[in-house]
C-alpha cells in the first residue's frame, strides 16, 4: 500500500450536502472527464488513440474509488500493489497488468496516475490510460498471436514514478522508448496521457476550492452512497436467487488449441449478486488469456443493469460491495504470470455476451443476442518508398446484436466511444488504399429484430510489408435468441496480385504481402432476436432498399418478392408466413447455429480451415 505524504494531515469534516450542490459536483466531475478525453484525442500522435479513441480517463476519490470513468478504476489496484510514498507532484506509470490486479489488461496499455492534492491533503486521483501502437516484442504492434510468455510481447513497465515531485525522470523514459519501434509516437502519446490526467487534477482542485474541501469530499462520499442505494434496489427487484448458468467459447488460441470455454453461474443472496466462473477453462498457453479485473467486471455488470432497468442512474463504484466475483486462479480469466495477455480482447468481448445472456436468462424480457464477441485487430508494417518505417494498427467493427427494442447497429464498435479511422487518413499516412468499406448484406442474424451486419474492409497494399490479424467468431456463431438466427461468422481472404487466393486464419502474424495484394477483412454479424417472419414488412423493405438485405436473404424473413426482386409480393408473403406460423412449435431461447460437430463440419466446408476440436467440445 502506498504511503501518502501530506503536508497537512488534518482530517476531513463530514458535512451535509444538498441535492443541487451534489448534482453540480457530479456534473463537474463528468465534465472534467470529458475534457480529459478531448485533450488526449487532440494531442496524441498515434491513430489508435487520436482517431479511434483508445484511451480512458478516470477520476476517483482519495482511496481510488471511481467517481467518473467507464471501465472501473485502475487506481485502487495500482496503489494497493505499489509500496512507496506518494507526494505532491508525483506521476506514476505502469503497463504491467500483473502489478495492478488487471486494472489494465495488456502491456500495450500505458496507465498514468496522478495524486491530486489540495492545500497539502490528498483529495482525489486522476488517471488516464491509452493503447500504444507498439512497445517492442517479437512482432510489429507487439501483439504476437503465438506468444507463450509475457516477455515476448514487448516492454512491461513496472509501477514507477515517472515524475518525482514534479520532475520528469528523463533517463527512465529514454530506456522505455528505446524498446519501441516508433518512439516518437510513444513519447507524444505519453505526454498526451500526462497532460490529460493533469486536466483532471486541475478540475478537482478547482471544485475543492469552489465548494470548500469538506463539502467537496462529503459530496464524493454521498455520490458513492447514492449509487449503492440505486444498484441495491435494482438487484433486489430484478435479480433471481435461482442459479443462472451460461457458457460461451473463444474459437481458438492462435497456436492450434481450443475452443476455450468461459462459463459463469450467477445468483442473488439478499442484496448481493454472486458471479462464479469456476467452470471456465484453464489458462491458455498462448496470448488469449484475460486477467479479468474484478472491478472492471463489476463495472460491466452494473452498466448492463443500469441500461436495462434504470438509465438515469449515474455510474460509479459505490455499489462494489454488492457484487462478488469468483474467478479461479490459473483459469483463462485469472492466468498466472508469465502468461501472455496481448490477445485478451477476444475474452473481454465474449464476457459482454456472457453477461447479456445471464441477465437475459434471469429476465427474458431484457434478453439480447450475441455480437460483442471480440475486437478485430489488423496490423500492417514495413518501410515505405522513402525507407521510413510505417506501422498501422486498426481496430475493426462487427455487427452489434439485436436488442429487445430494435435492430443491432451495422458495422459498429463494441467499445462505447470508439470511432473508425477515416479512410482518407489511412490513405494519406500509410501506403495503403481502401478498395471496399461497407457493411456485409445478410450477415446480421435474421429475426423480428435484425442483428447488425458485419463490416467488410478491402485493404490494397501499396508497399511490401507484413500483416497480422487478431479476430474470433470464425468457428462459433454470434447466437440468436427467442427464435432469432445467429449472425454470420468472420472471414479473412487474401487475394494475391500474382494470382490465387488464401483463406487466412483469424489469428496470424508475419503474413508477407506485396504491392497490389488485397486483403478482404470480414467481421461477424450480430445475432437476431425473435422469429424472422414476425419482422415488419416495412423494415424488410427498408433493408432491401438500403442494401442491408439481398433478395435471397429476404426469404429468411418469410418474404416473397415480385419479379423485380425488390418489391414485396404481399399476398404470397402472407400465405408463406401463415404456413410458417402454423408449423412453429416451441421456440428455443438460444440458437447457437447447430451442434459443435455441425459447426466444425460447416467451417471446414465453407473455409477449408480445420478448427481445433477437443472431444469435450464435440461431446457438448
Does pLDDT of 577 surpass 80?
A: yes
What pTM did the predictor assign? 0.94
pLDDT digits (tens, 9 = 90+) for 411-420: 887 666 788 8
What is the DSSP-derived secondary structure letter of residue 384?
-
Q: Are 441 and 525 in contact (CB under 8 A)?
A: no
Q: Computed from CA positions of residues 179, 180, 183, 188, in that sequence, does the dihedral angle turn out positive or negative? A: negative
pLDDT-derived band at 615, boundaries 50, 70, 90: low
Write the burial class of residue 30 (CB in 10 Å: 0-12 exposed, 13-18 middle, 19+ buried): middle
Worst-scoring range by mean pLDDT, 289-298, 451-460, 602-611?
A: 602-611
Nearest to 145 by CA among 614, 520, 505, 600: 505
What is the DSSP-derived secondary structure letter of residue 150?
G
Q: Which percentage of the chain shows pLDDT scores above 90?
A: 81
Strand partners, 97: none
Q: 437-453 as b/e, with b when 16 or more CB fall inside 10 Å?
A: eebbbbbbbbbbbbbbb
pLDDT digits (tens, 9 = 90+) for 16-26: 999 999 999 99
The Cα 102–Cα 282 span in angstroms is: 17
pLDDT digits (tens, 9 = 90+) for 521-567: 999 999 999 999 999 999 999 999 999 999 999 999 999 999 988 89
User: Residues with Cβ < 8 Å from 385, sequence gap 6 or more?
Assistant: 431, 463
Query: Domain residues of the chain, as ranges?
Result: 3-229, 369-530
pLDDT-derived band at 590, boundaries 50, 70, 90: very high
Q: What is the mean pLDDT of residues 264-288?
A: 97
Beta 480-481 vs 377-383: how paired, if at all? unpaired
Side-chain half-sphere CA neighbours of 156 within 13 A: 21
Measured in degrees and rounded to the nearest 5, phi and psi for residue 274 equal -110, 135
Average pLDDT in the chain: 93
pLDDT of 83 reads 77
Does pLDDT of 514 surpass 70?
A: yes
The Cα 355–Cα 307 span in angstroms is: 13
pLDDT-derived band at 427, boundaries 50, 70, 90: very high
The Cα 221–Cα 485 span in angstroms is: 46
pLDDT-derived band at 600, boundaries 50, 70, 90: confident
Does pLDDT of 593 surpass 90?
A: yes
Write the burial class of residue 236 (CB in 10 Å: 0-12 exposed, 13-18 middle, 19+ buried): middle
The Cα 299–Cα 276 span in angstroms is: 16
User: Please, what is the Cα angle at 253 between 251 and 257, to 5 degrees?
Assistant: 85
Q: 51-68 as b/e, with b when 16 or more CB fall inside 10 Å?
A: bbbbbbbbbbbbebbbbb
The Cα 580–Cα 560 span in angstroms is: 13
pLDDT-derived band at 373, boundaries 50, 70, 90: confident
pLDDT digits (tens, 9 = 90+) for 126-168: 999 999 999 999 999 999 999 999 999 999 999 999 999 999 9
Amino acid at each position: 500500500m502506498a504511503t501518502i505524504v501530506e503536508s497537512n494531515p488534518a482530517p476531513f469534516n463530514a458535512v451535509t450536502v444538498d441535492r443541487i450542490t451534489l448534482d453540480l459536483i457530479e456534473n463537474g466531475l463528468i465534465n472534467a472527464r470529458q475534457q480529459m478525453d478531448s485533450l488526449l484525442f487532440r494531442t496524441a500522435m498515434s491513430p489508435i488513440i487520436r482517431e479511434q479513441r483508445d484511451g480512458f480517463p478516470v477520476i476517483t476519490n482519495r482511496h481510488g474509488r471511481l467517481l467518473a470513468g467507464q471501465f472501473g478504476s485502475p487506481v485502487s489496484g495500482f496503489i494497493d500493489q505499489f509500496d512507496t510514498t506518494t507526494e505532491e507532484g508525483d506521476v506514476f506509470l505502469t503497463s504491467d497488468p500483473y502489478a495492478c490486479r488487471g486494472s489494465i489488461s495488456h502491456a500495450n496499455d500505458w496507465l498514468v496516475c496522478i495524486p491530486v492534492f489540495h492545500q497539502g491533503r490528498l483529495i482525489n486521483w486522476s488517471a488516464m490510460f491509452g493503447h500504444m501502437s507498439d512497445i517492442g516484442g517479437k512482432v510489429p504492434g507487439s501483439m504476437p498471436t503465438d506468444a507463450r510468455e509475457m516477455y515476448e510481447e514487448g516492454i512491461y513497465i513496472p509501477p514507477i514514478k515517472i515524475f518525482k515531485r514534479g520532475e520528469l525522470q528523463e533517463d527512465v523514459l529514454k530506456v522505455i522508448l528505446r524498446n519501441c519501434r516508433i518512439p516518437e509516437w510513444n513519447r507524444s502519446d505519453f505526454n498526451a496521457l500526462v497532460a490529460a490526467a493533469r486536466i483532471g487534477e486541475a478540475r478537482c482542485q478547482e471544485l475543492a476550492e469552489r465548494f470548500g474541501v469538506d463539502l467537496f469530499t462529503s459530496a464524493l462520499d454521498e455520490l458513492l452512497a447514492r449509487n449503492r442505494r440505486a444498484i441495491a434496489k435494482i438487484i433486489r427487484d430484478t435479480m433471481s436467487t435461482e442459479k443462472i448458468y451460461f457458457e460461451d467459447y473463444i474459437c481458438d488460441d492462435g497456436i492450434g488449441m481450443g475452443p476455450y470455454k468461459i462459463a459463469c453461474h450467477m445468483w442473488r443472496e439478499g442484496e448481493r449478486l454472486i458471479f462464479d466462473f469456476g467452470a471456465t477453462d484453464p489458462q491458455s498457453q498462448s496470448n488469449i488469456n484475460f486477467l479479468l479485473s474484478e472491478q472492471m467486471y463489476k463495472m460491466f455488470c452494473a452498466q448492463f443493469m443500469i441500461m436495462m432497468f434504470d438509465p438515469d442512474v449515474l455510474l460509479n463504484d459505490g455499489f462494489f460491495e454488492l457484487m462478488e466475483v469468483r474467478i479461479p486462479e490459473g483459469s483463462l480469466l485469472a492466468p498466472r504470470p508469465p502468461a501472455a495477455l496481448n490477445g485478451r480482447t477476444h475474452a473481454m468481448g465474449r464476457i459482454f455476451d456472457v453477461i447479456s445472456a445471464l441477465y437475459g436468462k434471469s429476465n427474458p424480457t431484457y434478453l439480447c443476442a450475441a455480437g460483442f464477441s471480440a475486437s478485430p485487430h489488423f496490423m500492417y508494417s514495413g518501410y515505405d518508398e522513402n525507407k521510413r518505417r510505417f506501422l498501422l494498427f486498426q481496430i475493426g467493427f462487427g455487427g452489434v446484436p439485436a436488442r429487445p427494442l430494435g435492430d443491432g447497429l451495422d458495422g459498429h464498435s463494441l467499445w462505447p466511444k470508439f470511432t473508425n479511422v477515416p479512410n482518407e487518413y489511412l490513405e494519406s499516412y500509410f501506403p495503403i488504399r481502401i478498395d471496399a468499406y461497407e457493411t456485409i448484406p445478410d450477415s446480421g442474424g435474421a429475426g423480428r429484430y435484425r442483428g447488425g451486419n458485419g463490416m467488410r474492409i478491402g485493404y490494397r497494399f501499396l508497399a511490401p510489408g507484413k500483416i497480422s490479424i487478431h479476430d474470433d467468431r470464425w468457428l462459433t456463431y454470434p447466437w440468436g435468441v427467442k427464435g432469432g438466427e445467429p449472425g454470420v461468422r468472420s472471414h479473412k481472404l487474401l487475394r494475391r496480385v500474382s494470382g490465387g487466393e488464401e483463406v487466412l486464419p483469424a489469428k496470424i502474424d508475419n503474413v508477407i504481402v506485396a504491392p497490389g495484394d488485397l486483403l478482404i477483412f470480414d467481421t461477424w454479424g450480430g445475432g437476431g432476436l425473435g422469429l424472422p417472419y414476425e419482422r415488419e414488412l416495412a423494415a424488410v423493405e427498408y433493408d432491401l432498399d438500403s442494401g442491408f438485405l439481398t433478395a435471397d436473404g429476404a426469404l429468411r424473413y418469410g418474404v416473397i418478392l415480385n419479379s423485380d426482386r425488390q418489391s414485396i409480393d404481399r399476398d404470397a408473403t402472407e400465405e408463406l408466413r401463415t404456413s410458417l406460423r402454423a408449423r412453429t412449435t416451441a421456440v428455443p431461447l438460444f440458437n447457437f447455429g447447430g451442434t459443435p460437430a455441425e459447426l466444425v463440419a460447416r467451417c471446414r466446408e465453407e473455409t477449408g480451415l480445420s478448427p481445433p476440436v477437443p472431444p469435450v467440445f464435440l461431446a457438448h
